[in-house]
Structure 1
Amino acid sequence: MATVKDWTAHVIKQAEIDKYLVDGKDFIDEEKIFEEIEKGKKPDKQRVRDILQKSLEIKILTPDETATLLNVEDPELFHEMQEAALEVKKRVYDNRIVFFAPLYLSNLCVNSCKYCGFRAENKEEIRHVLSMDEVREETAAVIDEGHKRMIAVYGEHPMNGADYIAESISTIYSVKRETPTGNGFNNIRRVNVNAAPMEIADLKKLWRAGIGTFQVFQETYHRERYAELHPANTVKGNYRWRLYAMHRAMEAGIDDVAIGALFGLYDWKFEVMGLLHHALDLERQFGIGPHTVSFPRMQPAPGSFLSENSPYLVSNDAMRRVVAVLRLAIPYSGLIVTAREEPNLKRDLLTHFGCTQTDASSKLGIGAYAKKLKQEENIEKVQFMLGDQRSLDEVIRELANDGMITSFCTAGYRCGRTGDKIMTLLEKGVEGKFCKLNAVLTFREYLNDYASPATREIGEKLIEQELREIEATPFFSKNKLLPTFRSYYDRIARGERDLYM
Structure 2
Amino acid sequence: MQTKLQDKTHYSFSRQENIDKGLFYDIFRSYSWDSVKENIYTKTETDVLRALHHKKRNLEDFKALISPAATPFLEQMARESMRITQRRFGKIIQMYAPMYLSNECQNICTYCGFSLTNKIPRRTLTDKEILREARFLKSRGYDHILLVTGEANKTVGVPYLKNAIRLIRPYFSNISIEVQPLDTVEYADLIAEGLYAVLVYQETYHEACYKIHHPKGKKSNFKYRLHTPDRLGQAGIHKAGLGALFGLEDWRTDSFFTALHLKYLQRKYWKTRYSISFPRLRPHSGGLEPKVIMTDTDLAQLIFAYRLLDGDVELSLSTRESTAFRNNMIKLGVNSISAESKTNPGGYVVDPKSLEQFEICDERTTEEIAAMIRSQGYEVVWKDWEKGY
TM over 0.5: yes
Q: Which residue of 2 aligns with 1:31?
A: 32
Distance 1:117 1:102, change over 3 A: same
Q: Which residue of 1 aligns with 2:162?
A: 166
**Superposition deviation, residue 29 in structure 1:** 4.0
**Superposition deviation, residue 210 in structure 1:** 0.7
Counterpart CA distance in 1 for 2:118 and 2:22 is: 35
Letter in 2 for 1:112: I
SS in 1 for 2:169: helix
CA contact (8 A) 1:292 1:333 kept: yes
Q: Does 1:188 align with 2:172?
A: yes
More deviation, 86-95/65-74: 65-74
Moved over 6 A (4+): none
**Superposition deviation, residue 288 in structure 1:** 5.0
SS in 1 for 2:176: strand
Distance 1:73 1:50, change over 3 A: closer
Q: Which residue of 2 aligns with 1:43?
A: 44
Instruction: Output aligned runs, 1:90-169, within 5 Å.
Output: 90-123=86-119, 125-157=120-152, 158-169=154-165
CA contact (8 A) 2:174 2:383 kept: no
Q: Does 1:293 align with 2:288?
A: no
Distance 1:274 1:245, change over 3 A: same
Q: Which residue of 2 aligns with 1:390?
A: 364
Instruction: Output aligned runs, 1:64-83, within 5 Å.
Output: 64-73=60-69, 76-83=72-79
**Deviations, residues 325-365 of structure 1 (Å, cap 9, x unaligned):** 111123211101000111001112222x3011111111112
**Superposition deviation, residue 21 in structure 1:** 3.7
Q: Does 1:317 align with 2:297?
A: yes
Instruction: Output aligned runs, 1:227-238, within 5 Å.
Output: 227-231=211-215, 233-238=216-221
Letter in 2 for 1:48: V
**Deviations, residues 393-423 of structure 1 (Å, cap 9, x unaligned):** 001111211112111134512xx22xxxxxx
CA contact (8 A) 1:280 1:289 kept: no
CA contact (8 A) 1:100 1:149 kept: yes
**Superposition deviation, residue 102 in structure 1:** 0.3
Q: Which residue of 2 aligns with 1:180?
A: none
**Deviations, residues 255-282 of structure 1 (Å, cap 9, x unaligned):** 3111111111111101110111111211
**Superposition deviation, residue 160 in structure 1:** 0.6
SS in 2 for 1:327: helix
Find 1:219's aligned residue among 183, 199, 203: 203
**Superposition deviation, residue 203 in structure 1:** 0.8
Q: Which residue of 2 aligns with 1:181?
A: none
**Superposition deviation, residue 283 in structure 1:** 2.5
CA contact (8 A) 1:20 1:244 kept: no
SS in 2 for 1:25: helix
Instruction: Output aligned runs, 1:344-493, within 5 Å.
Output: 344-351=324-331, 353-371=332-350, 373=352, 377-378=353-354, 381-410=355-384, 412-413=386-387, 416-417=388-389
Letter in 1 for 2:377: G
Counterpart CA distance in 1 for 2:69 and 2:234 is: 41
CA contact (8 A) 2:318 2:337 kept: yes
Report the structure, 1 or 2, having the larger helix content.
Answer: 1
SS in 1 for 2:28: coil
Counterpart CA distance in 1 for 2:23 and 2:385 is: 35
Q: Which residue of 2 aligns with 1:459?
A: none
SS in 2 for 1:257: strand
Distance 1:74 1:169, change over 3 A: closer
Q: Tell me which structure has the larger Cα radius of gyration.
A: 1
SS in 1 for 2:96: strand
Counterpart CA distance in 2 for 1:365 and 1:410 is: 24
**Superposition deviation, residue 144 in structure 1:** 1.3
**Superposition deviation, residue 109 in structure 1:** 0.7
Find 2:308's aligned residue among 308, 314, 328: 328
Distance 1:42 1:156, change over 3 A: closer
Find 1:244's aligned residue among 217, 227, 232: 227
**Deviations, residues 118-166 of structure 1 (Å, cap 9, x unaligned):** 011110x211111111110100111111211111112111111112111
Q: Any unmatched runs of 5+ in structure 1?
A: 1-17, 175-186, 418-501
**Superposition deviation, residue 52 in structure 1:** 3.1
CA contact (8 A) 1:36 1:63 kept: no
CA contact (8 A) 1:108 1:128 kept: yes
Letter in 1 for 2:319: A
CA contact (8 A) 2:33 2:253 kept: no
SS in 2 for 1:100: strand
Aligned length: 370
Distance 1:91 1:66, change over 3 A: same
Letter in 2 for 1:369: Y
Q: Which residue of 2 aligns with 1:479?
A: none
CA contact (8 A) 1:151 1:193 kept: yes
**Deviations, residues 27-46 of structure 1 (Å, cap 9, x unaligned):** 2544167347526634244x
CA RMSD of aligned residues (A): 2.2
CA contact (8 A) 1:220 1:226 kept: yes
Letter in 2 for 1:141: F
More deviation, 404-413/110-119: 404-413
